Amino acid sequence: MHIRTRLGLAAAVAALSFTAMPVLGQERTPAPEGATVYIVSPQAGETVTNPVTVRFGLSGMGVAPAGVEAPDSGHHHLIIDVPREGFDFTQGVPSDENHLHFGGGQTEVTLELAPGEHTMWLLLGDHFHVPHDPVVMSEPVTFTVR
């Protein structure tokens, strides 16, 4: 699968510059009760064309860049074509073409996705890219790229 993101240079540098990993045994950052993250668009069942703009939504928490420890905040990770089942929520989110980091605090991305069906979901990470406790993740959204 080929994914091309359109991020500004400053955002890309910010996302890559905060790759600190948590100290072994460190407790996960708590999430406030009722915090939710969701994909605004595309919507489930929709057929879209490239480029695909994915918009993120968040309620009950704030967005802060990776590396910035702020209460009740985190940054987005877009997980593409990877099931939630079996995902290790106790470790930092991997960084590859299926696990996109938005450590600059971005709330949307424009992607080039291969034609066909795709499923994606959002996962909020703390300043170390580790999911909160409890985990703040969206429902998966499946759509088709024509």
Within-domain flag for 131: yes
Residue 69 falls inside a structural domain: yes
Q: Is residue 26 included in any domain, yes or no?
A: no
Comparing CA positions, the residue from 13, 6, 3, 4 lying closest to residue 104 is: 13
Quick check: is 24 in a domain? no
Task: State pLDDT tens for residues 93-112.
Answer: 999 999 999 999 999 999 99
Strand 47-48 with 4-5, pairing: unpaired
Q: pTM of the predicted model, to two decimals?
A: 0.85
Asked whether residue 80 is domain-assigned, the answer is yes
H or E element, residue 4: strand 4-5
Question: Is 28 inside a domain boundary?
Answer: no
Q: 119-139, pLDDT tens digit by residue?
A: 999 999 999 999 999 999 999
Average pLDDT, the chain: 88
88 within domain boundaries: yes
Q: Write the Ramachandran bin of 129: left for phi over 0, alpha for psi from -120 to 50, otherwise beta.
A: left
Tell me which residue range forms the domain holding 73: 4-19+33-145
How does pLDDT run across 41-71, given as a tens digit for each residue? 999 999 999 999 999 999 999 999 999 999 9
Confidence (pLDDT) at 52? 98
19: confidence class by pLDDT, cuts 50, 70, 90: very low
Instruction: Give yes or no for residue 10 having a pLDDT over 50.
Output: no
The domain tally of the chain equals 1
- Residue 35 contacts residue 86 (beta carbons within 8 Å): no
CATH number at residue 96: 2.60.40.10
79 within a domain of the structure (yes/no)? yes
